[in-house]
Amino acid sequence: MAETKITVIYDNPTDPEAFESAYPAEQLDAARSIPGHLRFEASKVWPKEDGSPTPAYRALDLYYPDYAAASAAVATPQAAAFFEAMQRLSTGGVRVLFSDIEISQH
Protein backbone atom coordinates (compact mmCIF):
# COMPACT_ATOMS: atom_id res chain seq x y z
CA MET A 1 0.00 0.00 0.00
CA ALA A 2 1.29 3.50 -0.87
CA GLU A 3 2.05 6.27 1.55
CA THR A 4 -0.63 8.82 2.34
CA LYS A 5 0.02 12.48 2.91
CA ILE A 6 -2.09 15.02 4.70
CA THR A 7 -1.70 18.47 3.17
CA VAL A 8 -2.91 21.65 4.83
CA ILE A 9 -3.12 24.61 2.44
CA TYR A 10 -3.47 27.97 4.15
CA ASP A 11 -4.97 30.70 2.01
CA ASN A 12 -3.79 34.30 2.39
CA PRO A 13 -4.61 35.42 5.96
CA THR A 14 -6.40 38.69 6.58
CA ASP A 15 -3.60 39.67 9.01
CA PRO A 16 -0.32 38.04 7.91
CA GLU A 17 1.61 39.40 10.91
CA ALA A 18 -0.82 37.86 13.40
CA PHE A 19 -0.75 34.56 11.49
CA GLU A 20 3.06 34.50 11.41
CA SER A 21 3.37 35.26 15.12
CA ALA A 22 1.15 32.29 16.04
CA TYR A 23 2.23 29.89 13.27
CA PRO A 24 5.46 28.46 14.78
CA ALA A 25 3.91 27.28 18.05
CA GLU A 26 0.28 26.75 17.12
CA GLN A 27 0.82 25.08 13.76
CA LEU A 28 4.41 23.91 13.19
CA ASP A 29 5.04 22.59 16.70
CA ALA A 30 1.48 21.28 16.94
CA ALA A 31 1.76 19.45 13.58
CA ARG A 32 5.08 17.91 14.61
CA SER A 33 3.39 16.52 17.73
CA ILE A 34 0.74 14.60 15.73
CA PRO A 35 1.92 11.00 16.08
CA GLY A 36 3.00 8.51 13.47
CA HIS A 37 4.21 10.66 10.59
CA LEU A 38 7.21 9.48 8.61
CA ARG A 39 8.25 12.96 7.60
CA PHE A 40 7.03 16.51 7.79
CA GLU A 41 7.37 19.43 5.36
CA ALA A 42 6.40 23.07 5.71
CA SER A 43 6.50 25.60 2.90
CA LYS A 44 5.70 29.23 2.23
CA VAL A 45 4.47 30.38 -1.17
CA TRP A 46 6.75 32.83 -2.97
CA PRO A 47 5.18 36.27 -3.46
CA LYS A 48 4.15 37.08 -7.02
CA GLU A 49 6.48 39.46 -8.80
CA ASP A 50 3.60 41.72 -9.86
CA GLY A 51 2.37 42.05 -6.25
CA SER A 52 -0.96 40.34 -6.87
CA PRO A 53 -2.25 37.83 -4.29
CA THR A 54 -0.77 34.34 -4.36
CA PRO A 55 -3.09 31.32 -4.83
CA ALA A 56 -2.16 30.18 -1.30
CA TYR A 57 0.03 31.38 1.57
CA ARG A 58 1.59 28.34 3.28
CA ALA A 59 1.34 24.56 3.22
CA LEU A 60 2.13 21.72 5.61
CA ASP A 61 2.57 18.09 4.57
CA LEU A 62 2.57 15.15 6.94
CA TYR A 63 3.46 11.77 5.40
CA TYR A 64 2.12 8.49 6.80
CA PRO A 65 2.75 4.84 5.91
CA ASP A 66 -0.84 4.43 4.68
CA TYR A 67 -4.37 5.81 4.83
CA ALA A 68 -5.22 3.92 8.02
CA ALA A 69 -2.24 5.44 9.86
CA ALA A 70 -3.12 8.95 8.65
CA SER A 71 -6.75 8.47 9.68
CA ALA A 72 -5.70 7.24 13.14
CA ALA A 73 -3.34 10.21 13.54
CA VAL A 74 -6.07 12.80 12.95
CA ALA A 75 -8.19 11.19 15.67
CA THR A 76 -5.61 11.95 18.39
CA PRO A 77 -5.73 14.75 20.97
CA GLN A 78 -2.62 16.28 19.35
CA ALA A 79 -4.43 16.52 16.01
CA ALA A 80 -7.50 17.99 17.71
CA ALA A 81 -5.37 20.80 19.15
CA PHE A 82 -3.70 21.37 15.77
CA PHE A 83 -7.03 21.52 13.88
CA GLU A 84 -8.62 23.82 16.48
CA ALA A 85 -5.76 26.29 16.10
CA MET A 86 -5.77 25.85 12.32
CA GLN A 87 -9.43 26.90 12.12
CA ARG A 88 -8.86 29.87 14.39
CA LEU A 89 -5.71 31.12 12.61
CA SER A 90 -6.82 30.53 9.01
CA THR A 91 -8.65 33.81 8.56
CA GLY A 92 -8.24 33.66 4.77
CA GLY A 93 -9.42 30.06 4.46
CA VAL A 94 -7.81 26.64 4.67
CA ARG A 95 -8.03 23.31 2.85
CA VAL A 96 -7.03 19.88 4.14
CA LEU A 97 -6.35 17.04 1.71
CA PHE A 98 -5.59 13.34 2.15
CA SER A 99 -3.61 12.14 -0.87
CA ASP A 100 -2.31 8.79 -2.03
CA ILE A 101 1.38 9.15 -2.96
CA GLU A 102 1.64 7.62 -6.41
CA ILE A 103 5.31 8.42 -7.14
CA SER A 104 7.86 9.19 -4.45
CA GLN A 105 11.50 10.08 -4.89
CA HIS A 106 12.76 9.94 -1.32
The single-letter DSSP state of residue 97 is E
Residue 105 falls inside a structural domain: no
Q: Which CATH number goes with the domain that contains 48? A: 3.30.70.100
- pLDDT band, very low/low/confident/very high, at 1 (cuts 50, 70, 90): low
Residue 49 falls inside a structural domain: yes
Residue 106 falls inside a structural domain: no
Domain span including residue 67: 4-100
Please choose, from the candidates 64, 5, 67, the residue with its C-alpha nearest in 3D space to the C-alpha of residue 36: 64
* DSSP β-bridge partners for residue 97: 7
pTM confidence score? 0.91
Predicted confidence (pLDDT) per residue in 25-70, tens digit:
999 999 999 999 999 999 999 999 998 989 999 999 999 999 999 9
